[in-house]
Structures are given as structure tokens and as C-alpha cells.
Amino acid sequence: MLASTARFVGNVGGVQLTWRNGLDSSEAAEVMALLDKAEQADGVAPVGEHVILRLKAHRDVIHQIEPVQADVRSEHFVVRDAGSVLIGYAHLDTEHEKTAGQLVAELAVHPDHRRKGVGARLVEALLDRAELSPEPAPDLGRLRIWSHGEHPGAVRLAERFGLSRPRELWRMGRDLAAPELPEPELAEGVRIRTFRAGRDEPSVVEVNHRAFAWHPEQGGMTEQDLRAKEREEWFDPAGFFLAVDGKDRLLGFHWTKVHPGGMGEVYVVGVDPAAQGGGLGRSLTVAGLRHLRDTGSRQVMLYVEGDNAPAIKVYQRLGFEKWDTDVQFGR
């Protein structure tokens, strides 16, 4: 692997912006602390789970003699004030740059340093970086910037830079006490069992790929990604439900998650296209909801594409309502 490199981007009013293609453990820890501050102030995490997992991988590496390694899937924009205190950060996901010509960014500004031009400087740097990308595939923009929870500051920046909103991700939720949850209804020969770590990863990844071939993030999950999440504190195989046929072939799955504080999540529901159309996805969802209720969660949430009307209708029939929206801004 190549050693990471850094490039000084600019200094305005004592505020320094630096581009990096790798972080050392101490800087990754600084970034995670900044993201925590932003989440505490806003009530919503400023970056997605995959960004946190990548930052943890940097933070947990102890660099001694060997240099910091370049990150092949991420680039980092770091903003520091005149005292070298971290006040802004942007993560740029470059994983699909070569295949789809697309770059996806997420950013955060320290709550004490907002409305001082830090966010605008990060967006300018991201737009400049996007100009270096290959031409995008038809109907794909070159750069997309997430705003989790449709933060008002992000909306102002989008208006300032003339960005549209090509994608919305709804967060929906419901209480688990009411309305009452139905029983799962399974076709003859189909049963639901729980995930077996060390055995079921290949089949889950295979079905996930077929079920989400259209999805820009979920469809690319690898066995390595799955095993990394198995090492997370929240992972619980008892809340990972697999629908299988009489020969134990995987037809679909519902992976649940419980957040700190007890909030449940319909983390991923995936059904093999060959098994779709018979209500299996709904039955798997119900099985997971009943598990979350029975293990103490009082509320449950999920994310669904804002233009996925069939899925939204299914969730509404199960008692879910729209809570808020994550927005991708782009040109």
C-alpha cells in the first residue's frame, strides 16, 4: 500500500484547510470527537455509519515505524483554526468514482464555529475536488453532499451554491406498543431462523447484492464489511433473522439494530428478487419488530428512499410515520 499524503489547500483569516488521503490515529480520534459534538448539538449524526467505521479503522491503528497508509476509499478535508484546533471536517467517499464517476461527501462544523464561513470553505473545496473527477456516467452528478436531518445550515449552503436535491432518504418510525403487531405469515416450506456467525456471511452477501443491485450504498456490501459490523458492540445475531427454504437456502433477511438508549432499527430488509412478491419482506419485517418489542425497545425507526413508494406504503401499513429527512444535495 502507498503511504498517505497531505496537501495544504488554503489559509483564510488564520483558518487552515488541508486535504488528506489518510489519517493517523490521533487525528481520526479528533475527527470523531468533533462529530460527537455536532451530533450532541443537532440531535442527529452528521455522517453515516460507514464513515464512522472507516474513522474507527484509522483511530485503532497504532503507527510506530510504518507511515500512515493511504485510504483507497476515502479522502479527508480538515479545517483548523489559528491555534490548530479542529473546527471542521469533510469526508469524501471515492469508492464509486471510477465505476460511476460519483463522489459522495458528508461534513460537519464544530458548533462553536458555525456561521463563520467554515462550511462554505469545505463545500468550495469539495466542488474543486469534484472538477478533478472523470466524467460521470449518464444521469449521475459528479458530487453529492449529504445533509442528515436536512440541517438548516446545509440548506442555506445548498442555496448559496445553487445545489439541487436529487435524492431524499426518509426516516420513518413508530411506537412498538401500538398498533398491535401481526404474526408473520410464511409460505409453506419457509421458516425463519437467526444468523449464524462464521457460516451465513456468504449467502447474506449474495442475496443482499441481488436485492440491492440498484442501491448506491447497500448493494456493494462485502463479506469484509459484514464481518466488520459483527465486531461492533451493537451487533446481535439473535436480532438478525433469515428466511430459508426447506434446504436452508436463503430467501431473505431482516437485520435489526438497537441504538444506545434502546431505540430499535429496521437496519436492513433484503429479499432475493426470485422470492419477492409473496409478502416475505413484510413477514420478515414483522418478525424483527416483534423481537425488538420483546427485548425492550419502545420505538423503532428505519430509513427508506423517498421515491420508493411501494416500500413506503408497506411501512405505513405497519404503522410507520415519516419523522425526518436526509437530503443529498448536488448539481
Cα distances (angstroms) measured from residue 203 to each of 57, 196, 198, 200, 269: 26, 11, 11, 6, 14
Question: Which ranges of the chain would DSSP assign to H, the alpha helix?
Answer: 25-42, 49-59, 97-100, 118-130, 152-160, 201-211, 223-230, 280-294, 309-317
Region 171-182 average pLDDT = 94
Q: 242 forms bridges with which residues in the sheet? A: 193, 253
Of residues 66 and 204, which shows the higher confidence score? 204
Half-sphere exposure for 134 (CA within 13 Å, toward CB) = 11
Rg (CA), the chain: 21
User: Could you tell me which of 253, 245, 237 has the C-alpha nearest to residue 198?
Assistant: 237
Look at 24-38, 91-105, 271-285 and tell me which has the smallest mean pLDDT.
91-105
For the segment 276-288, the average pLDDT, to the nearest whole number, is: 95
If pLDDT is split at 50, 70 and 90, which confidence band does 91 have?
A: very high
Give the pLDDT confidence score for residue 135 in this predicted structure.
56
* Alpha-carbon dihedral sign for residues 155, 157, 160, 161: negative
Which single residue is written with the C-alpha cell 483511530? 59
Q: Residue 133's pLDDT is what?
A: 60
Q: Which residues are annotated as a binding site for acetyl-CoA?
A: 107-109, 269-271, 276-282, 308-313
Q: What is the DSSP letter of 16?
A: E
Residue 9 near residue 77 (C-beta atoms within 8 A): yes
Report whether 9 contacts 118 (CB < 8 A): no
Main-chain phi, psi angles of 19, to 5 degrees: -95, 140
Q: Where are the beta strands (DSSP E) in 95-245?
A: 103-109, 143-147, 164-175, 191-194, 240-244
User: Which CATH superfamily, name and number, covers 173-325?
Assistant: Gcn5-related N-acetyltransferase (GNAT) (3.40.630.30)
Q: pLDDT tens, 99-147?
A: 677 899 999 999 999 999 999 999 999 999 998 765 554 444 589 999 9
pLDDT at residue number 3: 63
What pTM value is reported for the model?
0.88
Q: For the segment 1-23, what is each residue's pLDDT rounded down to a tens digit?
A: 556 677 767 776 789 999 999 99
- Does the pLDDT of residue 165 top 50, yes or no? yes
* pLDDT above 70 for 200: yes
State the pairing for strand pair 299-305/143-147.
unpaired
pLDDT given for residue 140 in this prediction: 41
Separation of first and last alpha carbons in the chain: 34
Give the whole-angstrom CA distance, residue 54 versus residue 102: 19
pLDDT digits (tens, 9 = 90+) for 40-50: 999 999 999 99
The 10 Å CB-count burial string (b at 16+, else e) for 162-173 is ebebebebbbbb
Question: Mean of the pLDDT values across residues 173-179?
Answer: 94
Residues flagged as binding site: 49, 107-109, 217, 257, 265, 269-271, 276-282, 303, 308-313
Taken in order 215, 217, 221, 226, the sign of the CA dihedral is negative
The whole-chain average pLDDT of the chain stands at 91
Phi, psi of 172 (to 5 degrees): -115, 155
Q: Which amino acid is at 113?
A: H
Residue-wise pLDDT for 291-311, tens only, equals 999 999 999 999 999 999 999
Contact 251/245 with Cβ under 8 angstroms?
yes
Instruction: Write the DSSP symbol of residue 65.
Output: S
Quick check: 301 and 265 in contact, CB under 8 A?
Answer: yes
Whether the CB-CB separation of 221 and 205 falls below 8 Å is answered with yes
Handedness of CA 47, 255, 263, 321 (dihedral sign): positive
Residue 137 has a pLDDT of 47
pLDDT of 49-65, one tens digit each?
A: 999 999 998 888 765 54
Compute the distance between CA of residue 88 and CA of residue 119 in angstroms, rounded to an integer: 7
Q: In the chain, what percentage of residues exceed pLDDT 70?
A: 92
Q: One fold for both 6-162 and 173-325?
A: yes
pLDDT tens digits for 217-274? 888 899 999 999 999 999 999 999 999 999 999 999 999 999 999 999 999 999 999 9
Show me where the domains of the chain are located: 6-162, 173-325
- Classify 6-162 by CATH class: alpha beta
Count other Cβ atoms within 10 Å, centred on residue 3.
11
